[in-house]
Homo-oligomer: A and B are copies of this chain.
Amino acid sequence: MSNSQATGKIRKRALSERAKQTRERVFDAAETIFATRGFDGATIRDIAAAAGEPVGTIHHHGGGKEALFNTVVARRAETLSQARLAALEAAGASKPMDLRSVLSAFIRPLFDLVEEDPRWQNYAKLVAFVSVDDRWTEIAAQHFDPTAQKFMEELQCLLPKLSRQRIAEGFVFTVSAMLALVTSERRISALGEGTSHTASVDHLVTFCAAGFGD
């Protein structure tokens, strides 16, 4: 009754600052370990060690291995979607909207986030694992399909001659190429030391735009 939380969930007591820090440390560690070894290769004890917390804490905050995995995937999904949709809207505001700018609005936000916080690199690797394992199609669909739909509609408007099928295929090619680029630290030689990924990202956008038919 005297609960001041308005988020639907009944939480009788707010998280202390310490607890919030612990929680984030747990999620960050889980993200790193899941990104490195995948879901099955990761162990709660690995995550605990990476977080510098005892095993019990991982379960306390994570609610079990699978729940923890879901949480970690979900944690950054909304931010990414928002960034993409914002970029799409920004692109539509200035110009009459062209193919490159639509693809750019989908691709660039991820690389921008990676640049401003390296934890996003782990997240990208995690998403790559998710995308390859049929077991996670449902959670992938839940978090990424709405935005993907929006972008595919935009592409369909821009390229009315292409069938829905071809738009979908082209989009899959684009997404997989994007994940390959963002997760390749050594896959593509010499990504440059201090130099940002900008040139490679430009290339990716150009490559996909051309693929869709310039």
Chain A interface residues (CB < 8 Å from chain B): 36-41, 128-129, 131-135, 137, 165-166, 168-170, 172-173, 175-177, 179-181, 183-184, 186-190, 200, 203-204, 206-208, 210-214
Contact = CB atoms under 8 A, between A and B. Distances in A.
A179 B176 CA distance: 9
20 contacts: A38-B40, A38-B41, A40-B40, A41-B133, A41-B135, A132-B132, A165-B189, A165-B190, A166-B203, A168-B189, A169-B200, A169-B207, A170-B203, A172-B188, A173-B173, A173-B177, A173-B208, A176-B176, A210-B210, A210-B213
A203 B210 CA distance: 13
Nearest to A39: B41
B132 A128 contact: yes
Given A165-B189, A176-B176, 20 more contacts: A36-B134, A37-B40, A40-B40, A41-B133, A131-B132, A132-B183, A137-B187, A165-B188, A165-B190, A168-B189, A169-B181, A169-B203, A169-B204, A170-B203, A172-B180, A172-B184, A175-B180, A176-B179, A208-B211, A210-B211
A40 B39 CA distance: 8
A172 B187 contact: yes
Nearest to A176: B180
A141 B1 CA distance: 62
A164 B113 CA distance: 27
Contacts of A37: 40, 133, 135
Contacts of A135: 37, 41
Contacts of A166: 203
Contacts of A41: 38-40, 133, 135
Contacts of A132: 128-129, 131-132, 183
A36 to B, nearest CB: 7
A130 to B, nearest CB: 10
Nearest to A133: B38
A167 to B, nearest CB: 10
A124 to B, nearest CB: 11
